Amino acid sequence: MYRTHTCGELRISDVGKEVTLSGWVQTVRDKGFMMWIDLRDRYGVTQLIFNEEVSSTDLLEQARSVGREFVIMVTGKVIERISKNDKIPTGDVEIEVSEFTVLNAAKLPPFTIDDDTDGGDDLRMKYRYLDLRRGPVQRNMMFRSNLAIETRKYLADQGFLEIETPFLIKSTPEGARDFVVPSRMNPGQFYALPQSPQTFKQILMVAGMDKYFQIVKCFRDEDLRADRQPEFTQIDCEMAFITQEQILNTFEGLTKYLFKTVSNIELPDFPRMQYDEAMRRFGSDKPDLRFGMEFAELNDVAQNKGFKVFDSVELVVGICAEGCAAYTRKQVDELTKWVQRPQIGAKGLVYVKYNEDGSFKSSVDKFFSAEDLKAWADKMGAKPGDLMLVLAGETDKTRKQLNELRLEMGRRLGLMKEGDFKPLWVIDFPLLEWDEETERFYAMHHPFTSPKKEDVDRMLNGDHETMKSLRADAYDLVINGVEIGGGSIRIHDRGLQEKNFQLLGFTEEEAEAQFGFLLGAFEYGAPPHGGIAFGFDRLCAVMNGQNSIRDFIAFPKNNMGRDMMIDAPSPVHGEQLEELNLELKEIKKEE
Ligand code: ASP
C-alpha cells in the first residue's frame, strides 16, 4: 500500500499513529543533525522529520539524496510539532520517519513549483504537468470539477437529461469560422467541429426530450484575443414548452445554487434590463454594475451654444467621475490621449471640473457659462469635487467609446471590488444587426432566434427599415461586466425560419442545403422551445474574480492557438494526406 493517509489529512488527534504517506518533495531543509522534508500531494503538505537520534544513518543518507519533486513513500509515527505552523491544516503535526523509499527520481524542474512561480507562460505551458502541480492551478482544477458536478446535480434535479451530441458535424454559421476535419471515406468532403450543439439540441426538443443539458466542448476558429480559446466548454441547455420567463428563472436558480454551494456566496435576485436601456445608460450590452457612473445625455443642454464640435453631432454624452475635480492638467491630458488611442478612437475629450468651491473649470469655458455647466452637472448628478468627462459624435460609436472610458475610470478609482458580484439579465436584444460595410443583416444572436411575438407580423410583412427595429426573445446573463451566457426562444415554424434565413441573405437552395434537416424537422410537430448556454470556463474565472479563462483549463492553447506541451498543430505525413485525398499547397514563408 502506498499510503494510509493523504498529505493533507493528519491532525493533532492522529498523534501516535503509525502512517504511510506518498507524494512529491516540496522542500528539503537540512540542519545536519536534523532534517525536514515537506511532502506534497493534491490534498496538502505534511512535514517529515528525520532525526539522527531516531533514524538510522542509512535512512538519513537516503533522505539526503532526494531533491525537489522526487516521488517518495515514507512510513513513520505522527508526533506533535514543537513549532507549529498555523498556515496549513496539518501544521500541528509531523511524521518521524522510520522507513523511506524513493519511488521515482526527478530532474530539477525548469521553474519553481510554488504558489508564486518564476516560470514564464510558454515554459509553464510546455511543462504543464509541472505547472498543474502548483497550488493555485490545482485549486482552480478542483473548483472547476466542483462546479461541473454541482451543475449536473442541479440540472438533473430539475429533470434535465444529459445527452451527448456529435463532434463531427456539418458547418453551422454562428459568426465564427469552423474547424474542419477531412473525411477519408468520403473523398473531398469535410466534417466541421461544432461551434455549439445548437441545431442538435433543437432537434432533441422536436424529438420530445423536453429538457436537455450537456457540459460540452465547442470549437471556434477565431483570431485569438486575450480571453478566447479555440476550444472551450459550455453548459448547454434546451427546454420545450417553455417561456423566456421560465428559462430566466431556471438559470438564475442554477447560478445562485452554484455560487452558494461552490463559493458560499448568496446572490440577490438578478435585475433585468432591456438591451436599449443598457446601451443608453452604459453604452454596453454587458454593463458592469459594481459601480454607477451612468451616462448622461447632454444634447439639449450642450448643443446650440456656439461650440461647433457639439452642434452637428448625433450625441453628446458624459459621465461623472466622483471626487476627481482635483485632477491635474497632466492627468486630464493623459486621459484625453487614452480615449484618442486607436483602440478607443475618440476625437477628443471635453472635461469639466466642478470645483469644491462651486466654480467650474473646463476645456470649453469659451463656449459655456457657469450656468450652462451647472445644467450639465445637474444632468449627471455631479457635485462639487467631481470631474465630468464628455464625448460627442455618432451615437453607437460614442457610446462604445464612453463605455471604455467608464470602465477605465472604474478600474482607476478602484470601483470594481473583489468579492462583489453584480449579476444582470440583459433582455430584448435586436433580432438583426445591419452591417453597413457588407450591406447585409447578421443575426444578433444566431439564425434560430425567434422574434418577439408582437414583432412576427412586422417581420413577415415589413419593409427593410422595419427589420432593423425587430426585437428578439433573446437574453444574456452578465456578471460584473462579463457575458456569462446567452440564449433565446427559438423559431419552431418552418415558414418563419425560412423568412429569417432569407433576411440573412440565404437563397432558398442554400438554406435547404445547410439546414434542410432542421426545416424538415419543424414540419413534424416541433414544440415551442428555447434555451441558453453558459460559458463554463468563463463562469469559473468570474466566480474567482479572475480575468483569464486559461487558468481554469487543464491544457489550454496559447495566443497562437498552439498547445505547447504536445506541440500542436503539426504537419502530417504525405501518406496521411494522400489517404485523405488532400494536397498541400506550398506555403510561402512571409518575407
Ligand atoms: N448556442 C448558443 C451559443 O453558443 C446558445 C444558445 O442559444 O443556447 O451562444
Whether 118 and 111 have beta carbons less than 8 Å apart is answered as: yes
Residue 118 has pLDDT above 60, yes or no: yes
Q: Judge if the beta carbon of residue 532 lies within 6 A of ligand 1.
A: yes
Of the candidates 408, 402, 396, 397, the one whose C-alpha atom is nearest the C-alpha of residue 317 is: 402
Find all residues with CB under 8 Å of 55, minimum gap 6, and list them: 63, 97, 98
Taking the C-alpha atoms of 551, 556, 559 and 563 in order, what is their torsion angle to the nearest 10 degrees? 150
Are the C-beta atoms of 407 and 379 separated by less than 8 Å? no
CA distance linking residue 10 with residue 76, whole number of Å: 12
Phi and psi, residue 432, nearest 5°: -125, 155
pLDDT at 73: 98
Environment class of residue 175 by beta-carbon count within 10 Å: exposed (0-12), middle (13-18) or buried (19+)?
exposed
DSSP state for residue 111 in the 8-state scheme: S
Distance between Cα 218 and ligand 1 center (Å)? 10
Distances (CA, A) of 75 to 2, 23, 69, 72, 380: 10, 12, 18, 10, 70
Please report the atom of ligand 1 found closest to the CA of residue 236. Answer: 8
Strands 296-297 and 272-274: unpaired
Reported confidence tier of residue 473, pLDDT bands at 50, 70, 90: very high
Pocket test for ligand 1, best of 237, 445, 490 (most atoms within 8 A of CB): 445
If one residue of 236, 238, 285 were mutated to test the ligand 1 pocket, choosing by the most ligand atoms within 8 A of its CB, it would be 236
The ligand 1 atom at the shortest distance from the C-alpha of residue 474 is: 7
Q: What digits encode the pLDDT tens for the residues 89-98?
A: 999 999 999 9
User: What residue owns the CA closest to ligand 1's atom 1?
Assistant: 198
Q: What is the pLDDT of residue 320?
A: 98
pLDDT for residue 174 is more than 60: no
Closest CA to 363 of 341, 392, 342, 383: 392
Q: Tell me how far apart the alpha carbons of residues 546 and 381 are, in angstroms, rounded to a whole number.
A: 32
- Give the Cα separation of 148 and 145 in Å (integer): 5
pLDDT of 225 strictly over 90: no
Q: How many residues does the chain have?
A: 591
Q: Do residues 455 and 327 make contact, with C-beta atoms less than 8 angstroms apart?
A: no
C-alpha closest to that of 317 among 404, 408, 389, 406:
389
pLDDT of residue 348: 96
Q: What average pLDDT is seen over the chain?
A: 95
| CB distance 488 to ligand 1 below 6 Å | yes
Q: How confident is the model at residue 570 (pLDDT cuts 50, 70, 90)?
A: very high
Q: How far is CA 534 from CA 2, 111, 247, in A?
A: 41, 35, 13
pLDDT at 325 over 90: yes
Q: What are phi and psi of 246, to 5 degrees?
A: -65, -35
Amino acid at 341: R
Q: Is 214 in the pocket of ligand 1 (CB under 6 A)?
A: no
Strands 71-80 and 529-535: unpaired
Ligand 1 atom closest to Cα of residue 198: 1
Q: How far is the CA of 106 from the centre of ligand 1 (A)?
A: 46
> Has residue 57 got a pLDDT over 90?
no
How many angstroms separate the CA atoms of 281 and 9, rounded? Answer: 52
Phi, psi of 234 (to 5 degrees): -120, 150
- Please work out whether the CB of residue 194 comes within 6 Å of at least one atom of ligand 1: no
Give me the pLDDT at residue 173, please.
59
pLDDT over 90, % of the chain: 92
Distance 568 CA to ligand 1 centre (A): 28
Confidence (pLDDT) at 88: 96
Out of 169, 196, 199, mutate this one to test ligand 1's pocket (max ligand atoms within 8 Å of CB): namely 196
- In this structure, is the dihedral angle defined by the CA atoms of residues 482, 484, 489 and 491, taken in order, positive or negative? positive
| Cross-strand partners of 96 | 49, 77
Q: How far is the CA of 138 from the centre of ligand 1 (A)?
A: 30
The cell for 431 is 433580432
From ligand 1's centre to the CA of 233, what distance in Å?
12
Closest CA to 255 of 274, 273, 239, 268: 268
On the question of pLDDT at 226 being above 70, the answer is no
514 lines ligand 1 (CB under 6 A): no
CA dihedral 109, 114, 116, 118 (to 10 degrees): -10
* 531 ligand 1 Cβ < 6 A: yes
Does the pLDDT at position 586 exceed 90?
no
Measure 238 CA to ligand 1 centroid, in angstroms.
10
The residue with cell 442545403 is 513
In 334-492, where do the E strands start and end? 350-354, 360-362, 387-393, 423-427, 432-435, 440-443, 474-479, 482-489
% pLDDT > 70, the chain: 98
| Cα 303 from Cα 309, distance rounded (Å) | 9
198 Cα–ligand 1 center, Å: 6
SS3 552: helix
Q: Which atom of ligand 1 is nearest to the CA of 448?
A: 7
pLDDT at residue number 139: 96
Identify the band that residue 228 occupies on the pLDDT scale cut at 50, 70 and 90: confident
Name the pLDDT band for 224 (thresholds 50, 70, 90): confident
Ligand 1 center to 492 CA (angstroms): 16
pLDDT digits (tens, 9 = 90+) for 394-435: 999 999 999 999 999 999 999 999 999 999 999 999 999 999
Ligand 1 within 6 A of 197 CB?
A: no
Tell whether ligand 1 has an atom less than 6 A from the beta carbon of residue 26.
no
Residue 119 pLDDT:
86
* pLDDT on residue 168: 98
What pLDDT does residue 172 have?
63
Residue 589 has a pLDDT of 63
Tell me: pLDDT of 253 over 90.
Answer: yes
Which residue lies with its CA nearest to atom 4 of ligand 1?
196
Q: Atom 7 (ligand 1): residue with closest C-alpha?
A: 487
Q: Is 487 in the pocket of ligand 1 (CB under 6 A)?
A: yes
Q: Name the residue of 212, 234, 239, 476 to mutate for ligand 1: max ligand atoms within 8 A of Cβ.
A: 234
Average pLDDT over residues 457-470: 96
Sign of CA dihedral 410, 415, 419, 422: negative
Task: Specify the amino acid at residue 156.
Answer: A
Closest CA to 251 of 114, 181, 158: 158
Q: Is residue 68 a contact partner of residue 28, using CB atoms and an 8 Å limit?
A: yes
Q: Is 484 in the pocket of ligand 1 (CB under 6 A)?
A: no
CB atoms within 10 A of CB 457: 10
Pseudo-torsion of CA 233, 239, 244, 249, nearest 10°?
A: -70
For residue 547, the CA-to-ligand 1 centroid distance in Å is 22
Q: Which domains does the chain have, with CATH numbers?
A: 12-104 (2.40.50.140), 136-241+253-268+536-575 (3.30.930.10), 291-412 (3.30.1360.30), 423-534 (no CATH)
H/E element holding 249? helix 244-263
At which residue does the C-alpha cell 522510520 appear?
98
Residue 343 Ramachandran class (φ > 0 left, ψ -120 to 50 alpha, else beta): alpha
Using the predicted structure, report yes or no on whether residue 588 has a pLDDT greater than 90.
no
Ligand 1 pocket, 198 CB below 6 A?
yes
Give the pLDDT confidence score for residue 99 in this predicted structure. Answer: 94
Q: Write down the pLDDT at residue 583.
A: 85
Q: 590 pLDDT band (50/70/90 cuts)? A: low
- Stretch 228-243: mean pLDDT: 97
| Ligand 1 mutation target, pool 204, 222, 285, 446, most atoms within 8 A of CB | 446
- Bridge-based pairing of strands 315-321 and 93-104 is unpaired
Element (H, E) at 502: helix 494-503
Res. 549: pLDDT tops 70: yes
Nearest atom in ligand 1 to the alpha carbon of residue 195 is 4
Give yes or no for residue 451 CB within 6 A of ligand 1: no
pLDDT digits (tens, 9 = 90+) for 330-382: 999 999 999 999 999 999 999 999 999 999 999 999 999 999 999 999 999 99
pLDDT of residue 176: 83
- Where helices occur in 54-103 by DSSP H, the ranges are 57-64
Specify the residue for cell string 497632466.
Answer: 330
**543 Cα to the center of ligand 1, angstroms:** 21
| Mean pLDDT of all residues in 479-504 | 97
CA of 521 to the centre of ligand 1 (A): 19
Atom of ligand 1 nearest to the CA of 485: 9
- Quick one: pLDDT at residue 216? 98
Segment 38-56 shows an average pLDDT of 92
Would you say the CB of residue 250 lies under 6 angstroms from ligand 1?
no
